[in-house]
Amino acid sequence: LTPYSTPVCTADGIIFDVASITPYLMKHKVDPVTGRSMTSRDLIILQMDKDESTGVWQCPVLNKSFTNRTKIVAIKQPGSNEANVYSYEAYHELNVKAKNNLDLISGLKFRKEDVIVLQDPEDEAHCKLRDIANFKHTKQLREDERVRQDASAMKDEKGKLLKASDDGDVSSSKSTVPAMTIYTDELLSAITLTSGKASGSLTSTAMNITRENTAREATQDEIIKSQCEQLRRLKKKGTIRMFTNLGAMDVEIHCDIVPMTAMNFMLLAEKGEYDGSKFHRSIPNFMIQGGKRAKEKGDTGGEGSSYWGKPFQDEFDDRLTHTGAGQFSMANSGPATNGRQFFITYKSCAHLNRKHSVFGKVIRGIEVLQRMEQIPTNKDSDRPLETVKIESMEILDNPVSEALELERERILKRKVEKKE
């Protein structure tokens, strides 16, 4: 066995050192092996015996050192979160064969379900479970890395493959991927906008008569609208974990209801645009506002641009209102002026309904918001007198990346169909 300082195990028999597993559980609240919900209270403390002369773990009954070939079990003690560790040989001979259901050290009566297998070289399934490469956490890291790489590649392509407007790329990437022009008949929309050649030819003496209308090249706004429609059709919520210097909050993002606002926020978060930014305005019994670029990233103190580099339209829906604490909503300076700044409500603010776009809500960590509200502020500027900032954001559920990939694939498929 690996040398542990303070060994603990899960109900599945996977051993960790308490100093390593506890911080992980505090942050993620899931079993790193299975991905199931878990806290430090679910850990079982292992009482293990060690050979004083060699420092190697051993069976306390047979005094035989544990090796990688030893089958090892733990017997959970009734009414506690502790378990005594033995070689399976000792347990089998002195408990199973002897029909003795008393713990060999404590003498307490135990049940069959109290016996936890910690190591079994002959059990292939159990060995796979103990292989770190198969841990849910490890797989998730690999998947997250793949998604990040895909998302990064997608951003590189969007400026060229998804044809940004003349004002500038949707992505600032300098990718060498060949440009792909998008036409209006390739977008998700109720109508197909055309070049107008047919009508123009009938009213202009300078044009040849034609009865064909060809789809024209799509604008950036039309492309974004099509992407948002794809996101809406997924009917999925996004989830972001916002780490602040006062604690972490899990935020549900309404990608299925306000797709443009949700896409803007999640793409900015994915790029790390909110990392290090401060909440610059807090009014108790009202809201706290943030989202400016951190100074080290070039904060000019202004409103700050959206992911697309320009303000975008409001998205209102009667299902989303400023009701209760923890509502995420866009800050603005008037209709259709949304950028990157947002606010979080401390309480209901019905007067803001249909004036500001609600796009998310706190689903875990509301106590962090309560701590923010308790920070004293400057009476003139409402600026918190103590730093309140976003340290980082972790995307837990990302339908935006899925929608963008689906849209890209759909457009490519549409182009192939048009050529056939």
Q: Is residue 412 part of a domain?
A: no
Same domain, 130 and 239: no
Out of 343, 359, 369, 398, the active site residue is 343
Out of 332, 338, 341, 398, the active site residue is 332
**Of 134, 167, 197, which residue is a domain's last?**
134
Q: How far apart are CA 410 and CA 415, in angstroms?
A: 9
Active site residue 356: yes
Q: Is residue 209 part of a domain?
A: no
Out of 118, 352, 369, 404, the active site residue is 352
Q: Is residue 127 part of a domain?
A: yes
Same domain, 245 and 384: yes
Q: Is residue 108 part of a domain?
A: yes
Same domain, 120 and 257: no
| SS3 readout for the chain | CCCCCCEEECCCCCEEEHHHHHHHHHHHCECCCCCCECCHHHCEEEECEECCCCCCEECCCCCCECCCCCCEEEEECCCCCEEEEEEHHHHHHHHHCCCCCECCCCCCECCHHHEEEEECCCCHHHHHHHCHHHCHHHHHHHHHHHHHHHHHHHHHHHCCCCCCCCCCCCCCCCCCCCCCCCEHHHCCCCCCCECCHHHHHHHCCCCCCCCCCCECECCHHHHHHHHHHHHHHHCCCEEEEEEECCEEEEEEECCCCCHHHHHHHHHHHHCCCCCCCECCEEECCCEEEECCCCHHHCCCCCCCCCCCCCCECCCCCCCCCCCCCCEEEECCCCCCCECCCEEEECCCCHHHCCCCCEEEEEEECHHHHHHHHHCCECCCCCCECCCCEEEEEEEEECHHHHHHHHHHHHHHHHHHHHHC
pTM of the model: 0.55
Same domain, 104 and 246: no
* Domain that residue 314 falls in: 235-400
Same domain, 273 and 130: no
Q: Is residue 225 part of a domain?
A: no
Same domain, 106 and 239: no
CA-based max dimension of the chain = 106
As for how many domains the chain has, the answer is: 2
Out of 94, 286, 313, 316, the active site residue is 286
**Of 134, 164, 190, which residue is a domain's last?**
134
Out of 241, 254, 356, 408, the active site residue is 356
Express each pLDDT in 279-332 by its tens digit.
999 999 999 999 998 876 655 444 468 999 999 999 999 999 999 999 999 999
Express each pLDDT in 140-182 by its tens digit.
555 555 555 555 555 554 444 444 434 444 333 333 333 468 8
Q: Is residue 161 part of a domain?
A: no
Active site residue 286: yes
**Of 117, 134, 151, which residue is a domain's last?**
134
- Of 16, 12, 262, 35, nearest to 143 (Cα)? 35
Same domain, 362 and 240: yes
Active site residue 289: yes
Same domain, 242 and 390: yes
pLDDT at 273: 94
Same domain, 122 and 249: no
pLDDT at 294: 81
Out of 58, 84, 95, 289, the active site residue is 289
Q: Is residue 165 part of a domain?
A: no
Residue 360: give its domain's CATH number. 2.40.100.10
Active site residue 281: yes
What are the backbone angles phi and psi of residue 409, rounded to the nearest 5°? -65, -40
Out of 281, 293, 322, 408, the active site residue is 281
Same domain, 394 and 283: yes
Q: Is residue 168 part of a domain?
A: no
Residues of the chain with pLDDT under 70: 1-3, 129-180, 189-214, 296-304, 420
Q: How do strand 49-50 and strand 342-345 relate by DSSP bridges? A: unpaired
